[in-house]
Structure 1
Amino acid sequence: MTVSQTNFAWATLLEVGPADGGRRRLHDRLARALRTAIRDGRLAEGAAVPPSRALAEELGCSRWVVTEAYGQLVAEGYLCARVGSATRVSWSPDTAQPRSRATRAPARPPIRYDLAPGLPDLRAFPRRRWTDAVRAVTGSAVHYDLGLPDPAGHAELRTTLAQYLRRSRGADAHDGSVSVCASVTDGLVRTCRALRAEGIADLAVEDPGWGRLRDAATSAGLRVHLVPVDQDGLRVDDLAGTPARAVVVGAAHQFPTGTVLSPARRARLVRWAREVDGFVVEDDYDAEFRYDRHPVAVMQGMDPGRVFLLGSVSKTLSPALGLGWSVAPASMTPVLRAANPVAAAPPVLDQLALATFIDRGWYDAHLRAARRRFRTRRDLLVRTLGEQVPQGRVAGTAAGLHILLHLPDDTDTAGAVRAAAAAGLRLADLDDYRTNRPAERALVLGYGNIGDTEIPPAVTLLSEALRTPTASRAGAAP
């Protein structure tokens, strides 16, 4: 039973009813009203009913009426009274009428190991320093910081982000061009609305790519066109065959292939944007994690008048913080904000906490530690895959928090994902991220949110899933 002093049933509507010609006494009517509230679920199991004196004052009756009603419900099993504690509800429809075995939904097997992409190491979230940052800004925030937030974001965080992006990502950013948002997806929705307001109705996206980016574009009213990706990134020449005047690209680390947009294609993409009087939307989602070569600067620095830059802390700290940013071309900043008049900025204290976290050097320290940890984990995953899944070929290992595991063409990757899930292992099929599905089979394996000691048993389950009859297609012709 839940015991919570915040769970008092003070505001529950009790329909005590009229006197009924004296045939039902007040304490009987009160007991019936409480019993009905409990049976209807308005008073949940564990909820504390008000003290008898307080309820009597509320109802304008004697305390004896309330104690008699409570006593009746205790005798019936609806309430539980303990000395020194509040009287609480001890009955619920679920405990009184358990569902039959035939109607109970089958339980899903628990996920023991998570090799799906999309999350950082949530175990390593810097709780103490983030708490210190929140405590510091809560104590130092001036009174007007506690009012309605600026839709563009707090000026202090916008200044801090502009400085950080200039020194760490080579961006051409200043506080006037930075807007604070909740995530990359949120930033893309706002950007797409601004593009639509400028008369741009068609947007190109990478294939394969993150499905939520396509959803964000269509939700803003844009038509989406798919452009393939190869070993050098987005095939820029294929853009000419679409009516798009804007394109979303993961230049530093494409998801899910892990490719880096080559220098020649970067330059070609910027020229394309100028030729069509359009824009590039750069998704810089996990560029902080590079292991085998130096970080690649953002495209936005090449032409800040044609490139939007989107980023967040979802892959570096946690998506639970709901903090991201966009850097817009100067000509589009007023359009961006006018096209999103009701877009809500993240909570001000959280914004100030992130600014403090960055300004004190804690963010850089966290990233340095994370890079060392992820490099070690990536090496362990690649080595273990080589030992237990020798038929696989690993790619996209140089950066980010995921790799591709290419498998023989006769592998049923969807069947392997289902078999792994039944064994408690979460995987992702490359087919889930692409519209055009060639014969090439591959799994997208994330290593951000899994412990080092969990990798060997997780790969063992993966190997077993690939050996299931459906996944291995043992009857396929050689």
Structure 2
Amino acid sequence: MAANWTTFRELLLPGGLTGRRAVESELRRAVREGRLKPGTRLPSSRDLADQLGVARGTVTSAYTQLIGEGYLEAKRGSGTTVTAACDWPNTFPATTDQSRPWRYDLRPGLPALSAFPRDGWLQATRTALTALTADDLGYPDPAGFAPLRKELADYLGRVRAVAAHPSDVVVVSGAAQGISLLGRVLRATGHTSVAIEEPSHYGAADMLRSHGLTLHRIPVDDKGIRVDALSTADTRAVLVTAAHQFPLGVVLHPDRRRALLDWARERDAVVIEDDYDAEHRYDRPATGAMQALDPGHVAYQGSTSKVLAPALRLGWLVLPPGLREAVVERKRLDDLGSGTLHQAALAQLLRSGGYDRHLRRTRQLYRARRDALLDEVTRVRPDWTPIGVAAGLHVVLRLPDGTDDRDLSARLARAGINAPPLSDYAHEPTFPGLVLGYAATTPDRLRRAVQEMGELC
């Protein structure tokens, strides 16, 4: 009797497969080439055996092997499915494309998105929405939702020692918009250049350059930005990551802070303080924001991207009086203001203590992940020296002198490991290194990633 094919979950594989290794190889290839997408449910072992004309044990053995390799997963009642962790192409280009899937994505800058406080955010949204008036649902104040500006001023004063009145705070759509607004306002008010740290994040540099500002790259050492080198640059603006330098992780030394602010007063300059991940610290006490030492010359910037999630697109600026009006007007012309609903929800999360509770939980989570990464590096590659480990969401691994970090990163990329080279963040390379984010990866996966990196290197 002919088989009743309507009962089958079909899976098209080449005919003539006779052994376990052949079946296993074709399934593995289908996953790697993307023909079997993450979450795809496979036929039962009996169904696939009937389709291929092989013994059921052949398919069962192939499934078992691929489950062990991480290509497939089996759950009681759900059958066998392709695991999301294996959605990668057969070959990898030698670039760190953030849009592509990776077996291990260790790029810096991502928090643990799976730890986002969904219940807390949902409750905050419901509470905030109930409290909003009909007028609140109209076009927003381009400076930001007033209750959020109040909560941010209170929070930043308590946690970061920022000296701010709610009227000093401007809510923006993430740190990128904050940098963009400041760049355009500086250009419009006569600035032609901005100094940046070397090394530093290329995104901020590209943003400032796109607004017609020339960049002066100022080297960073173990005490932070070299203010003596800054003093020789023909500029009246500088972007710094004082609390946790990106990517090297050093804290700007108190003497350098004072020297930097003296420089700003002497030149009537603007210091843009990007406080991108200062709340995350593990082995050292908190360092207050530089803004409190001179609110008239420091523009302070922060966002929810490293504490909650980049998808919220919420950030803030605390501005000197001379910049606030121009920035708010530029914000109004850009987008008429950030969305009120997300602002109201964040205000409620701050007011209720939910933001602090989430931060307390994730500090413990990230410390455990950092420790797992560092322990495995020490075990597998003791010649790789971790730098900037006391705080933040990433670590720099200094490689042995003479290593080509771009070549190493490309080799790792071909194996599905996204480990950006330090050279990507420097105009003039200082020493070879890898910049590894650990917050978004579980301890077990971090250990496996380091083990594979050690084998490939």
2-side partners of 1:133 and 1:139: how far apart?
Answer: 10
Q: CA deviation at 1:278?
A: 0.8
How many residues in Structure 1 have an aligned counterpart in Structure 2? 361
Q: Output the TM-score relative to the length of structure 2.
A: 0.77
Aligned residues with identical type, % of pairs: 44
Give the Å deviation of 1:108.
5.0
Asked whether 1:375 is paired with 2:371, we answer: no
Report the 3-state secondary structure (helix = DSSP H, G, I; strand = E; otherwise coil) of the residue aligned with 1:403: strand
Distance across 1 between alignment mates of 2:91 and 2:239: 37
Distance in 2 of aligned mates of 1:423 and 1:221 = 39
User: For 1:206, what is the secondary structure of its paired residue?
Assistant: strand
Q: Distance in 2 between matches of 1:219 and 1:172?
A: 31
Which structure 2 residue ranges, 5 or more long, are not aligned? Answer: 1-88, 93-100
Distance 1:198 1:274 in 2: 18
Q: Distance in 1 between matches of 2:91 and 2:114?
A: 24
SS in 2 for 1:461: helix
Contact 1:417 1:465 (C-alpha < 8 Å) held by counterparts: no
Report the equivalent of 2:206.
215
1:398 Cα deviation after fit: 0.7
Matches within 5 A, 1:393-404: 393-404=385-396
Report what 1:448 is aligned to: 439
Describe the SS at the equivalent of 1:188: helix
Corresponding residue for 2:343? 351
What do residues 142-177 of structure 1 show as CA deviations (whole Å, max 9, x unaligned)? 101111111111111111111111111000111111
Is 2:290 the partner of 1:290? no
State the TM-score, normalized to the length of structure 1.
0.74
Cα distance between partner residues in 2 of 1:340 and 1:350: 17
Establish whether residue 390 from structure 1 lines up as the match of residue 352 from structure 2: no
Distance (Å, rounded) in 2 between the aligned partners of 1:422 and 1:177? 48
One-letter amino acid of the counterpart of residue 353, structure 1: A
Aligned to 1:193: 184
Letter aligned with residue 380 of structure 1? A
Equivalent residue letter for 2:300: L
Partners of 2:331 and 2:342 in 1: CA distance: 21
Asked whether the 8 Å contact 2:370–2:439 carries over to 1, the reply is no
Secondary structure of the corresponding residue to residue 437 of structure 1: coil
Instruction: Specify the SS of the correspondent of 2:200.
Output: coil
CA 1:340–1:360 in 2, change beyond 3 Å: closer, same or farther? closer
Q: 2:422 aligns with which of 414, 422, 430?
A: 430
Give how far 1:198 is off: 2.3
Equivalent pair of 1:205/1:227 in contact (CA under 8 Å): yes
Aligned position for 1:272 = 263
SS at match of 1:385: helix
User: Corresponding residue for 2:246?
Assistant: 255
- The answer for the alignment partner of 2:450 in structure 1 is 459
For structure 1, the 5+ residue unaligned runs are 1-105, 467-478
Shift >4 Å, 4+ stretches: 106-110
| Residue equivalent to 1:96 | none
- SS of the counterpart of 2:218? strand
Greater CA drift, 183-192 or 230-239: 183-192
Residue aligned with 1:156, SS: helix
- Decide which structure has the larger Cα Rg and report it: 1
Asked if 1 retains the 8 angstrom alpha-carbon contact of 2:193 and 2:213, the reply is: yes
Matches within 5 A, 1:297-376: 297-344=288-335, 345-376=337-368
Work out the CA distance in 1 between the residues paired with 2:203 and 2:407.
24
Q: What secondary structure is seen at the aligned counterpart in 2 of 1:316?
A: coil
AA paired with 1:220?
A: H
Matches within 5 A, 1:15-30: none
Residue 140 (structure 2) pairs with residue 149 (structure 1): yes
Alpha-carbon distance between aligned partners in 2 of 1:221 and 1:337, rounded to the nearest angstrom: 20
| 1:132 counterpart = 2:117 | no
2:144–2:172 CA contact under 8 A, matched in 1: yes
SS in 2 for 1:343: helix
Q: Distance in 2 between matches of 1:127 and 1:175?
A: 27
Partner of 1:410: 402
Is the 1:193–1:340 contact (alpha carbons within 8 Å) kept by the matching residues of 2? no
1:180 aligned partner: 171
* Higher mean C-alpha deviation, range 370-379 or range 251-260: 370-379
Q: Which amino acid aligns with 2:208?
A: A
Q: Is residue 2:194 matched to residue 1:203?
A: yes
Taking the TM superposition and a 5 Å limit, the aligned residue runs for 1:83-122 are 110-122=101-113
Q: CA deviation at 1:298?
A: 0.2
Alpha-carbon shift at residue 107 of structure 1 (Å): 5.1
Q: For residues 297-340 of structure 1, what are the alpha-carbon distances to aligned partners after superposition, in whole Å with 9 as ceiling and x for unaligned?
A: 00000000000000001011100000000000122211222344
Match of 1:39 in 2: none
Contact 1:205/1:214, CA 8 A, preserved across alignment: yes
Matches within 5 A, 1:218-257: 218-257=209-248
* CA contact 1:289–1:399 (8 Å) conserved in 2: yes
Measured in 1, the distance between the counterparts of 2:207 and 2:405 equals 27
Match for residue 419 of structure 1 among 387, 392, 411: 411
Does the 8 Å contact 1:305/1:329 carry over to 2?
yes
